[in-house]
Amino acid sequence: MGNPRGLARDFDALEARRLDALALIRKGMNHSEIDRAVGVANQTVSRWRKEYASGGKKALEKADPCWAQTAPDRKPG
């Protein structure tokens, strides 16, 4: 599970997957259908649904990298 060491994550692709799941949530699909369609665990769909319910679409959009939140002047690398 997780990201193998040394491989960069594609944050745009991860956000796209969450937004794809959101579209299916809005269509009324259940967790099992959504997790199979987007390729994630059922618990992940459940978490995304709760995040959407509490924070709207913005809660599922791409966040700033964690290093940018703690050290805004720091650059990756």
Question: Does the pTM exceed 0.75?
Answer: no
Which segments of the chain are extended strands (E)? none
Helix (H) or strand (E) holding 70: helix 66-70
pLDDT at 9: 79
Helix (H) or strand (E) holding 26: helix 11-26
pLDDT at 28: 94
Q: Is the dihedral of CA 20, 18, 37, 54 positive or negative?
A: negative
| pLDDT tens sequence across 4-56 | 777 777 888 889 999 999 999 999 999 999 999 999 999 999 999 999 999 99
